[in-house]
Amino acid sequence: MCFVTGSIFRRFAPFALALLITAGAQAATVNSTFTLTASAPLTGTSLVITGQATMSGVYTGNGAFTSTASLISSTPANFTITVTTGNTLTGTFTLASAALSGTGTGSLTITGGTGSYAGYTGTFSSLTETGSTSISGTSASLTLNCNGTGTVNTSGGGTTTPVPTIAAVQDAASNTPNIAQGSYFSVYGSNLHPSTQGIALPYPWLQVSNAVKVTFTPTTGGTGTDAYLVYVRADQINAILPSTAPVGSYNVTVTNGTASAPFSTQVVASKIGLFTQDQSGTGLAVVQNYISQSEVDVNRLTTGTYNGSLSSPAKPGQTLIAWGTGLSPWAAADDTAGIVHDFRGSLTIAAVVGGVSIPVDFAGRAGYAGIDQINFTLPANVPTGCAVTLQISVNGVLSAATSISIAPSASATACVQPGYTTQQLQSFDQGATITTGGFSLMQIAETVPQYGTVKLDSISGVFTQITGFQLAASSTQNPSVITSGSCMVVPSTCSGTVAATHVTSLDAGTVTLTGPAGTNLSSQKLTETSNTYSYTIGSEGISIPGQANGTILPGTYSLAGSGGTDVGPFNTSLTIGSPLTLNSPLPTTVTESAGLTLNWTGGNASDVVEIFGYSGTGCGTGANQVANAAAFYCTTTAGQKTFTVPASILTQLPTVTAGQISAGTASGGLEVFSGVTPVSFSPTLTKGGTVPSVFSSLIGVGGQAAYQ
């Protein structure tokens, strides 16, 4: 069965990036003062430094500085200063280890640039670097200030011709790095093509259009591979990577009269990604429900019409048709229409719905180059709901998680989502937004590089407004979308990806927290940043100037909001008891093929238990970020007193060694949390309606872990 409605070739969401014409080049050597004001959240053993930089005599105003530095060594790290679109300075930046908690001396070396700054060189050999470290909840960050003088040679050239600049290279479905052979992908940036309106190119597709081409060149050198161009615009190109491009590391360039700076990416044999209905790469997938030979409905929350097409939720026992890209290479279909090819003979493929693995009836090309169709039939006992997780497994490797809507029975006209009526679900299908909220107390005892064992106590929360496409986001914790007693693997990506989230944070005014005796919490005001709320209650094992000395203890916690421009006043409370206790410390090395069994005592039988692990290798620096990471989430209840993370889940995570983690080239961790049943509350909205919300708690332990 091969069905499709409408044209899929122009459905990729455009992203508005400013197109700036570069200025003329400067010339000569100038004396300059470099200043930087930046922040750097801790990611594994790396500091992702972003901030504003000035360089007197070289450019006017602030430039956007980015660099990823090692937390445990002073090895020079690559940096990029983006002055305007297409105009960048690049080189290496050394962060002094003493600057993590005081003052040290670092350096910055300019080795080149793009646009007006092509060919620039320079040295700032003695930068005074002053930093301070802060911790909020389980997150640590560095505030950094740099200042120093140097010289810059500006006679390298530069150009007044707009130079293509690549901001991201992603698969066109899940919007994540790494491109599969024979798959659809998107290049985002500026000056990629002369047209600002966008052009859908006619079939058969060419590898060069209006002197524009996208080339994948092996990082080891050799002949590059040009992609087939499907859609071109100044800030976006959609294309198909030929199946014949060998697997490996590549530099991607866009040539538009002049060539862009190379952008690092990986070509892989298979990386299935599912298209989503809001083009964000998450949420409701592009799936059709097979009704009959004459009717195929778009999968939605309710029965009706969506964008001129019939729509409905899926039903148990029904055949579904999912659309994605990256299943496998097949050179015969890279630029050929009307060819059908089923990959089931060469690959082990399954649909994973709500954690249930389902054999597929068809998986492959179905008349469209670069686009994969996956047909599967829901079992009678499939989990139901409005945001049931959907992933595709290819040879045991799972796609990024999306969701589908499944009604409880063949006669039902809508899915079921706790807290929402059928009428509300219908309004979501017609474009209405939904609001949800959640606050969580968290305590974690974890080993933090540079500090040893640290216990951190915090609270955080937010009220959000989202579309019906992102209904799964109404849960305050990602693992809540997993059926109790099951696990889910989520491929992870580096920061800097271009993807819409459709989530808006709402203002609730002043929010305060009061705890039982001994917590030092008495109408404590939470910090509000961009309508998100947080407060670091206290810490043990680390001394931070100005840090509060509270702690989370068993007892009742009261949360109150004064009301703001979006959310009205509210009061709610949560009572927590003693958390569970692991029978043995968390392992520092996890043998993936053996599974991981954890045993514990204590806690209430109904308490939720969440097990979280992750691993990944370094993602590169600046814009050249390539992901090779994954995380797993498992849930159960404390009354079970044991849980085994199966080998089939653990083997989805990249293997990383303790040595790689120590060197800062990889990260890995394992955490176990427990929490009482969340308390529901529903503040009013100032524009009418309420915000279904929860107040929850998570207390646990964690630490670094190698995966082998």
Instruction: Assign residue 299 the CATH number of its domain.
Output: 2.60.40.10
Specify the pLDDT at position 153: 84
Are β-strands 693-704 and 433-448 bridged in parallel, bridged antiparallel, or unpaired? parallel
Residues of the chain with pLDDT below 70 are 1-28, 43-45, 71-74, 135-139, 155-161, 419, 448-451, 473-485, 490-502, 543-547, 618-628
- CATH number of the domain to which 250 belongs: 2.70.50.70
- Asked if residue 402 is part of any domain, the answer here is yes
Of 153, 183, 217, at which residue does a domain stop? 153
Q: Check whether residue 438 and residue 402 sit in a common domain.
A: no
Distance CA 540, CA 26 (A): 53
pTM (two decimals):
0.59
- Asked if residue 223 is part of any domain, the answer here is yes
- DSSP code per residue over 547-607: -------SEEEEEEE---SSB--EEEEEEE-PPPEESSPPPSEE-GGG-EEEEEE-S-TT-
Of 93, 124, 153, at which residue does a domain stop? 153
Q: Check whether residue 125 and residue 257 sit in a common domain.
A: no
pLDDT in tens, 513-552: 999 999 999 999 999 999 999 999 998 877 666 668 899 9
Cα-based distances in Å from 420 to 194, 431, 689: 47, 15, 12
Specify the pLDDT at position 47: 82
410 burial via Cβ count (<10 Å: 0-12, 13-18, 19+)? exposed
Task: Check residue 414 and report its DSSP letter.
Answer: B
Q: Check whether residue 501 and residue 639 sit in a common domain.
A: yes
Specify the pLDDT at position 448: 67
- Asked if residue 18 is part of any domain, the answer here is no
Specify the pLDDT at position 627: 44
Specify the pLDDT at position 434: 80
Specify the pLDDT at position 178: 93
Q: Check whether residue 169 and residue 138 sit in a common domain.
A: no
Are β-strands 179-180 and 263-268 bridged in parallel, bridged antiparallel, or unpaired? parallel
Domain count within the chain: 4
Specify the pLDDT at position 449: 65
- Asked if residue 2 is part of any domain, the answer here is no
Q: Check whether residue 551 and residue 621 sit in a common domain.
A: yes
Q: Check whether residue 173 and residue 243 sit in a common domain.
A: yes
Mean of all residue pLDDT scores within the chain: 84
- Asked if residue 459 is part of any domain, the answer here is yes
- Asked if residue 647 is part of any domain, the answer here is yes
pLDDT in tens, 206-249: 899 878 999 999 999 989 999 999 999 888 999 999 999 999 99
Specify the pLDDT at position 72: 62
Residue 220: Cβ within 10 Å count: 8
- In 3D space, the residue among 663, 555, 678 whose CA is nearest the CA of residue 617 turns out to be 663
Q: What element of type H or E holds 650? A: helix 647-650
- Asked if residue 596 is part of any domain, the answer here is yes
Q: Check whether residue 190 and residue 98 sit in a common domain.
A: no
Q: Check whether residue 546 and residue 692 sit in a common domain.
A: yes
Q: Check whether residue 652 and residue 587 sit in a common domain.
A: yes
Q: Check whether residue 698 and residue 574 sit in a common domain.
A: yes
Q: Check whether residue 174 and residue 136 sit in a common domain.
A: no
Q: Check whether residue 226 and residue 113 sit in a common domain.
A: no
Of 268, 290, 323, at which residue does a domain stop? 268
Q: What element of type H or E holds 422? A: helix 422-429
Q: Which domain holds residue 116?
A: 29-153
What is the C-alpha end-to-end distance of the chain, expressed in Å?
41
SS3 98: helix
Specify the pLDDT at position 158: 58
Specify the pLDDT at position 499: 35
Distance CA 261, CA 255 (A): 10
CB 77 within 8 A of CB 69: yes
